[in-house]
Structure 1
Amino acid sequence: MPRPVARVLTLLELLQSGGLRTASELADRLGVDERTVRHYVGHLIDLDVPVESVRGRYGGYRLTPGHRLPPLMLSDDEALAVLLGLVAGRRAGPASTTGTASDTATAKIRRVLPERLRLRLDAVLGALAFTAPPGEALAPDTAILLPVADAVKHHRPISIRYTSSDGRRGERTLHPHGLVAHSGKWYMTAADPTAGEDRTFRLDRITDVRTLPGSFEPPEGLDPAERLLTALATAPYRHEVTLRVQGTAEHIHARLPAGIAIVEEPPSPGDGDTGTERWSRVELRVERLDWLPAVLASLDRPFVIERPDELRGLLEAFAERLSHSARRDPPQA
């Protein structure tokens, strides 16, 4: 592409980023003088690009508000970044959108790429490997996601139709606080004014959303992600487990994530500590106990089981199996 044409396209990209750009700023970015900038602006106007000239001490150039812009143009680096983001999104789950939208978006971008860049991209994708299998996330329906997000932003109450995990259907009026992507699923945190409590809802279980008149004031210092993790960790399950672990919350959460366990560190040293490191209280609610002995062993920290007693037996059996394996001789070739 001839350099003057490339500079005209670069000028358009700068104006598309928004705001008022002075002639001197544009000249510096393009590596030309201000007279040439005015010449390039004339080229854009000839192409029906709505460039507006603002006169005065603080004047410059900008795109006229409210006009449709020409098709999106990406540099080589931007195109590669977008395509790699789409590929990573399909693997991660929540980053992808509904259905095959990421696939069709990838195909559209690839069709307009220069052959040189397309071949390089194919080389990157052919050499790229992932350490985890593709995510099996439940992609949110845009008809649900978009109105919920709008209600969160503008503090609007909503009415939803929801199917709970046990199959019960109902309609609720909520004050939505935030959207959270967690472990391949999308969640909404909200206040239920009728029940007077905070709740979390999976977006894939919402079948209809209606924005209601009025507005609400969200609570200060609200962290939707933290609220979701706490709700997941305190959800009712078959077993309630309480432990004391000699270690910090950071170390414990490395093996027992916040969505599984609630960790309370003592406020100051000396709260019943018997070692150099303080003892933290850990609470879990789980459906099964058989996976916990291996995880507790991987903490590599002293711990005490407060409840349930059934976990003690599983831990003793696990320790016996480890001890037996340590005493075994290797099999003969």
Structure 2
Amino acid sequence: MTTDMPARMLRLLSLLQTRREWSGHELAERLGVTGRTVRRDIDRLRELGYPVEATTGHAGGYRLASGAAMPPLLLDDDEAVAVAVALRTAAGGLGGIEETALRALAKLEQVLPTRLRGQVAALQEATSTITWESRGPRADATTLAVLAAACRDHEIVTFDYAPREGARASRRVEPHGLVASGGLWYLVAYDTGRDDWRIYRLDRLTEPLPTGRRVPPRTLPGPDPAAYVAAKIATAPVRYRAVATVHAPADTIRARTWALADRIQPLDDSTCTVDCSADALPRIARTLAALDTDYTLDADPAVLAHLHAAGQRTLRAAGSGSRD
């Protein structure tokens, strides 16, 4: 039982920050106090400016709502270290967030206890990051935040979307989850206009607007959003077809081309097929090079022409090299 009122109120605030909603009974059990004490402490938090809302339902409850300013976050030791390290390595695939992440990190490190500051420093000193200049599209951080909140709250959103082919059009969806893959971000959502599940690339999505309407979560046709996106990408139409019959076990090829796990099919213990089809010819060439073994290829003429030209360049380069 937490008898010290300031400590109890800090514990109450911490609980409210860890979950969307708590019943009064649950909070009383966690704090070891009566429901009346919980109500009094909630009133004290409101007097201090924390936007704690009462919720309706079978037994009623409480949640920490958004306010004019974000209240102080209460993190345990592991959470503080995780946030600090994540901020240091933040912003992969996101635009305009690097400087913001560094400002947040500076604020966090300023208030970290000495024991945690040492852990964070040790992790940062022992960890190196290779930063590649991204040539692809980057997702907008604000868009990501809006959609993440909609996924959490099961709130319908609208936005404009530009598909790879066709005109930009409005969408109205029930967001389910966000997936990062290959430097891109995807939204998995149920499209109410098409009455079906869809995935949307965030770099093609603009002006996401929450509607304020919340709906019960739907059951995704798959184990999780990441698996759903992977399956959709693997079966999506592509510009160039290329299927290799490889003289190596499927498990060996999966280890060499991990990104193509769903496109590798064993024929027997020593042979498999690899679907290398893609929208870009250089990507097909890189995948075939990663096989590092003999194979036969069934591919579009454009793929064969690209591979022939690339092979000729490689032979010329090898012939011009030093043979000492």
TM-score under structure 1 normalisation?
A: 0.61
**What is the one-letter code of the residue matched to 1:304?**
T
Distance 1:309 1:219, change over 3 A: same
Residue in 2 aligned with 1:207?
Answer: 207
Alpha-carbon deviation of 1:228? 2.0
Alignment partners' CA distance in 1, 2:237 and 2:168:
19
Kept in 1, the 8 Å contact 2:9–2:41? The answer is no
Alignment partner of 1:298 is 2:290: yes
Kept in 1, the 8 Å contact 2:27–2:38? The answer is yes
Residue in 2 aligned with 1:245?
Answer: 246
Unpaired stretches in structure 1, ≥5 consecutive residues: 1-6, 26-50
Alpha-carbon deviation of 1:263? 1.2
Once the two structures are superposed, residues 6-53 of structure 1 have per-residue CA deviations (whole angstroms, 9 ceiling, x without a partner) of x9999887676646799xx9xxxxxxxxxxxxxxxxxxxxxxxxx773
Residue in 2 aligned with 1:112?
Answer: 111
Kept in 1, the 8 Å contact 2:177–2:225? The answer is yes
Residue in 1 aligned with 2:278?
Answer: 285
Alignment partners' CA distance in 1, 2:160 and 2:286:
41
Alignment partners' CA distance in 2, 1:79 and 1:229:
32
Once the two structures are superposed, residues 80-113 of structure 1 have per-residue CA deviations (whole angstroms, 9 ceiling, x without a partner) of 44322210224x346x995643222112123334
Alignment partners' CA distance in 2, 1:168 and 1:236:
18
- Equivalent position to 1:308, from 300, 304, 310: 300
Alpha-carbon deviation of 1:128? 4.6
- Equivalent position to 2:318, from 322, 325, 328: 325
Residue in 2 aligned with 1:162?
Answer: 161
Alpha-carbon deviation of 1:154? 5.2
Distance 1:218 1:206, change over 3 A: farther
Alignment partners' CA distance in 2, 1:235 and 1:89:
30
Alignment partners' CA distance in 1, 2:117 and 2:76:
13
Kept in 1, the 8 Å contact 2:265–2:274? The answer is yes
Once the two structures are superposed, residues 156-215 of structure 1 have per-residue CA deviations (whole angstroms, 9 ceiling, x without a partner) of 543222244569432122233321122333211223343455432122422132337474
Residue in 1 aligned with 2:184?
Answer: 185
Once the two structures are superposed, residues 214-259 of structure 1 have per-residue CA deviations (whole angstroms, 9 ceiling, x without a partner) of 746334435321232333344444312222234455544444454x
Alignment partners' CA distance in 1, 2:196 and 2:80:
45
Alpha-carbon deviation of 1:264? 4.7
Unpaired stretches in structure 2, ≥5 consecutive residues: 16-25, 51-70
Alignment partners' CA distance in 2, 1:280 and 1:126:
44
Alignment partners' CA distance in 2, 1:135 and 1:324:
28
Alignment partners' CA distance in 2, 1:222 and 1:126:
38
Kept in 1, the 8 Å contact 2:186–2:202? The answer is yes
**What is the one-letter code of the residue matched to 2:279?**
V
Alignment partners' CA distance in 2, 1:97 and 1:327:
45
- 5 Å-filtered alignment, 1:95-106, equals 98=97, 100-106=99-105
Distance 1:326 1:9, change over 3 A: farther
- Equivalent position to 1:53, from 33, 39, 55: 33
Residue in 2 aligned with 1:4?
Answer: none
Distance 1:237 1:265, change over 3 A: closer
Once the two structures are superposed, residues 290-321 of structure 1 have per-residue CA deviations (whole angstroms, 9 ceiling, x without a partner) of x5445424323442211124544525962894
Kept in 2, the 8 Å contact 1:155–1:218? The answer is no
Once the two structures are superposed, residues 237-286 of structure 1 have per-residue CA deviations (whole angstroms, 9 ceiling, x without a partner) of 4312222234455544444454x6851525xxxx5x4xx42423525122
Residue in 2 aligned with 1:30?
Answer: none
Between structures 1 and 2, the one with greater helix share: 2
Residue in 2 aligned with 1:172?
Answer: 171
Alignment partners' CA distance in 2, 1:312 and 1:208:
42
Alignment partners' CA distance in 2, 1:248 and 1:134:
35
Distance 1:250 1:157, change over 3 A: farther
Once the two structures are superposed, residues 106-137 of structure 1 have per-residue CA deviations (whole angstroms, 9 ceiling, x without a partner) of 12123334679768866764665323447787
**What is the one-letter code of the residue matched to 2:295?**
F
**What is the one-letter code of the residue matched to 1:225?**
A
Query: What SS class does the counterpart of residue 226 from structure 2 fall into?
Result: helix
Distance 1:67 1:104, change over 3 A: farther
Alignment partner of 1:88 is 2:92: no
Aligned residues: 282
Distance 1:309 1:107, change over 3 A: same
Alpha-carbon deviation of 1:147? 4.8
- 5 Å-filtered alignment, 1:14-93, equals 18=15, 53-54=33-34, 64-65=41-42, 68=45, 71-72=72-73, 79-90=80-91, 92-93=92-93
**What is the one-letter code of the residue matched to 2:175?**
P
TM-score under structure 2 normalisation?
A: 0.62
